[in-house]
Structure 1
């Protein structure tokens, strides 16, 4: 009786297999392993950076942003006590001018908020004891500080040209002290945003009668659920998430991930071509054994299944090895943080890695599909070969 399960192993480990056949098998297995390792590591790095960027953006802007109010005070009171909402911080935004003592100027976006929420919501430490005087405090980004040649504790002037008095043509100027310099290293936050206290915003932005919106921080509730909960109560509000605001950035990251995946698949594609040559070489080298199986009553379908099992053995074992080694590298990096990054270039100090089940499933699915295609190409040789002539 023909044992369909032992035969594939027997063909691959046979001592009489010539050296070139064994070498081809090892090269093919190496290709599958390296391809798997490269895919796992590359995708995990891209996921890691994407996750860090998301975390930075959410910590700086919140999960949701609401605008389009009709009765602001009433709507705010209801929204901030809704289920799953941790913080609701009103803000005003206005383009304005900041002037340093050396007369250097920058046009930036002033964001007026209640400074009590700086640490809780925006993860920024405010030093309210930088100078014990009555001068209002503001917080600027590191890039802005470098452009203006200022530092923590320095005095600057802020102006809102859009709110100037048309009768006199003289804009209102406020002198403020820099109480903190934040450094997010993400997008243009360090070069675009200046935080000013709520009372300064109300005094400076005289044309704004109410806040522009509310930044929302969620706790234990998804953005979609929170958005739906708010819209059920106030369907006219405009609600955007951090993903809506920065959709172009994350679309670019998605395309980058797809491009990387396709490029690294070429390694596995080359391994598949090598696998086809291995299987064809096995058929040629074992043609007498195949002929004997044919005489013993094995059908073409049985012989094709042998080729399929051999391809799964070669590709499957090597792919599993590569997958395991790749996941081990990700685990070790996340646990021990071996690979460091220069902090003056990157916004993180350690190379981030993150892998999820969907990525692993996709990689395995594509590899198995390519192995089956290789087996199909090689097994067609069975149908065209007259094994009886080999006896």
Structure 2
């Protein structure tokens, strides 16, 4: 194998290459290396953020959400004992108003759940009692707290006039204490959702006889198609996953990844042009050597293969170097978290990176095809 590349490598040896040829080779190699590094690092960053967003959404909303019940109690009993389901949390949701003591008001969504599931399902630390009194407790988002200028332990009033009968034109109002302020920093969760207990929900949502839905959390090792299992038993239910709910968000992230990939390929494209000019310059500078090979019986196909192997040496070695450095960067960042992010701006403290085998294979395949095209163009001359 090495003997096949001995002659092409001899044409590229620095001591036999004039100045312009050396410079072109180094520029071409630098272009391929930088292109590989940029592609690996950029795609891994986009993958990392996508994975973090996905985990944040699942931790806050669950893997599946079910609605459209006909016999809620019966359906809940069957669903929560299915294989692969670790939690099944019923909830009620309704738009309402929250009023601070300073008279600031916000309209948002009240979500009534069993507070025992707050930590294990919604990843919200919950203090059983902030104050030793009988005032009901609610949990609000960081953005809502900032808008209302309130903090943990403050008193607020909540009401949901859309779902209750009015007495003398005045909606029912509940005074509550803020027991926790959560901060997901993802989507509009911190700005739109307020958790209230089942007791408060039943008191405010008097027209709601059964929960609006059930949030489901799968076992970590579960690989079962639970959505289809549920629909097989209850085809009339509305079963949506986090992918369905946030389809547009993840489609936008996918398009962003494709756009980034195409844009950074321009670096490789420029390197290919450099490679073509480099190979053409070698052909011109080595005209005598090529003539000697022709006299010795080398065919045109043999000379084309020689140029092809030279392009593989230049592009392949530099791409391998760039790939190795890019993967090393991803490994170091993933393992040690060298690059930090400001937590007050981003929802993570460390720059996330994640690369898959499919990504590496695709990047190498595209670069290899571009090198081959550049080699064919050069050898045809």
Shorter-chain TM band: over 0.9
Tell me the residue number matched to 1:114: 114
User: Runs of 4+ in structure 1 displaced over 3 angstroms?
Assistant: none
1:229 and 2:221 correspond: no
Superposed CA deviations along residues 23-45 of structure 1, whole A, max 9, x for unmatched, are 11011000000010011111111
- Structure 1 distance, partners of 2:225, 2:61, is 19
The answer as to whether partners of 1:4 and 1:306 remain within 8 angstroms in 2 is no
The answer as to whether partners of 1:164 and 1:170 remain within 8 angstroms in 2 is no
The answer as to whether partners of 1:231 and 1:237 remain within 8 angstroms in 2 is yes
Deviation of 1:14 (Å): 5.8
Deviation of 1:168 (Å): 2.9
Deviation of 1:166 (Å): 4.3
1:104 and 2:96 correspond: no
TM-score normalised to the size of structure 1? 0.95
TM alignment of 1:192-211, pairs within 5 A: 192-211=192-211
Deviation of 1:317 (Å): 0.3
Give unmatched runs, 5+ long, in structure 1: 382-391
SS at match of 2:140: strand
Deviation of 1:4 (Å): 4.2
Deviation of 1:169 (Å): 2.2
Tell me the residue number matched to 2:333: 333
The answer as to whether partners of 1:144 and 1:190 remain within 8 angstroms in 2 is yes
Tell me the residue number matched to 1:389: none
1:13 and 2:32 correspond: no
1:152 and 2:152 correspond: yes
How many residues align? The count is 378
Tell me the residue number matched to 1:348: 348
- Structure 1 distance, partners of 2:26, 2:198, is 68
The answer as to whether partners of 1:99 and 1:157 remain within 8 angstroms in 2 is yes
1:189 and 2:218 correspond: no
- Structure 1 distance, partners of 2:44, 2:4, is 39
Tell me the residue number matched to 1:275: 275
- Structure 2 distance, partners of 1:132, 1:177, is 11
- Structure 2 distance, partners of 1:24, 1:51, is 40
SS at match of 2:207: coil
SS at match of 1:170: coil
SS at match of 1:15: helix
1:33 and 2:29 correspond: no
Judge which range, 256-265 or 6-15, deviates more. 6-15
- Structure 1 distance, partners of 2:305, 2:189, is 60
TM-score normalised to the size of structure 2? 0.97
Give unmatched runs, 5+ long, in structure 2: none
- Structure 1 distance, partners of 2:76, 2:332, is 46
